[in-house]
Amino acid sequence: MRTTRCNASKLCATCEGAEEKVTKCQVCFRHCELSEGQYGVCGARVASGGQVVAKNYGRITSIALDPIEKKPLRRFMPGSMILSVGSYGCNLRCPFCQNSEISWGEGVERWEESADVVEPEQLVRVAEKYQNEGNIGIAYTYNEPLVGYEFVRDTAKIAHHKGLKNVLVTNGTAELSVLREIGPYIDAMNIDIKCFSESIYKDVLGGSLAMTKAFVSEAVKIAHVELTCLAVPGISAEKEMMREMVSWVASLQDGNGRVIGEEVPFHVSRFFPRFQMTDAKATAVKDVYALAAIAREKLKYVYTGNC
């Protein structure tokens, strides 16, 4: 049976004793301090033998051969298929989560025992098998892949050497040290920007806008990046917020200091009631289009989704 999880704001009850050794996770801004056997907020990382390790390493909960456009990526090898793979765990707490059964809560604990275990070499062989059906590689998606970045790194490295493409679908809530480890093997990313308010990120989503912005700023220097904003009423569907967000996106620079932000593809997606927001109304289609029109004032490639 699991021990308690870190609450990310102070040492948990099992950590408070001065004599008990704690280990700090270095993946995201939470820096969960964990005693032996204790899990971080993400539900995927655990203190073991003086280290924090990915308990979800190689544990696959979801796998499908998808059009690349579903990631969504619209300007990276359009018309291709990609093998999409997910594990379990997430370091955010979005009340509108579309994959809550594998991202956090009781579902995460269930998957720890029931998910199939696949080694990186095995997954790459599966990806190669589907090349005759148009598969170009592997997309790490569904849950938050970076809470188990070690599996992404190990698999992507093998896939890269085999000539396969690697795609990362992420909330961008990770330290730049994580990005540096996986970056050499990642060809494209779709990164969620949940909203453009630090207070909403912290109080509603349990995240850090500053960390996501830093991640995006570095990601555009090393891979093809597309950004997604789910337009959730009361959280991210405000026009003024969209203006601030796309103004920031437009200012992004490449590794040589050249401003390239206006060429970063940007997706505005319609929200439907999910998870803890089933009593909310779906975003009006006209509102999604209005937000997209604002984005087009600054950006060249703007797409709408779920409309």
pLDDT digits (tens, 9 = 90+) for 57-85: 999 999 999 999 999 999 999 999 999 99
Q: What is the mean pLDDT of residues 214-223?
A: 98
Q: What is the 3-state secondary structure (H, E, C) of the chain?
A: CCCCECCCCCCCHHHCCCCCCEEECCCCCCCCEEECCCECCCCCEEEECCEEEECCCCEECEEEEEEHHHCCCCCCCCCCEEEEEECCCCCCCCCCCCCHHHHCCHHHHHHHHHCEECCHHHHHHHHHHHHHHCEEEEEECCCCHHHHHHHHHHHHHHHHHCCCEEEEEECCCCCHHHHHHHHHHCCEEEEECCCCCHHHHHHCCCCCHHHHHHHHHHHCCCCEEEEEEEECCCCCCCHHHHHHHHHHHHCCECCCCCECHHHCCEEEEECCCCHHHCCCCCCCHHHHHHHHHHHHCCCCCEEEECC
Is residue 16 packed enough to be buried (19+ CB in 10 Å), middle (13-18) or exposed (0-12)? exposed
**Is the model's pLDDT at 17 over the cut of 60?**
no
Q: Per DSSP, what are the bridge partners of residue 51?
A: 48
CB atoms within 10 A of CB 52: 21
Q: Return the domain boundaries, the chain.
A: 13-54, 59-305
Which CATH number is 59-305's, of 3.40.50.620, 3.20.20.70, 1.20.1250.20, 3.40.50.300?
A: 3.20.20.70
Predicted pLDDT at 14: 42
Q: What is the mean pLDDT of residues 165-189?
A: 98
Predicted pLDDT at 11: 36
Buried-state track 263-284, b at ≥16 Cβ within 10 A, e below 16: ebbbbbbbbbebbebeebeebe
d(CA 88, CA 40) in angstroms, rounded, equals 13
Contact 83, 60 (CB under 8 A): no
The two tokens of residue 70 are 């579903």
The two tokens of residue 8 are 């990310």
Tell which wins on pLDDT, 19 or 141.
Answer: 141
pLDDT digits (tens, 9 = 90+) for 143-157: 999 999 999 999 999
Q: What is the mean pLDDT of residues 24-48?
A: 96
Q: What is the mean pLDDT of residues 18-41?
A: 91
Q: What is the mean pLDDT of residues 126-137?
A: 97
**Which candidate, 39, 4, 42, places its Cα nearest to that of 145?**
42
Q: What is the mean pLDDT of residues 186-200?
A: 98
Predicted pLDDT at 18: 42
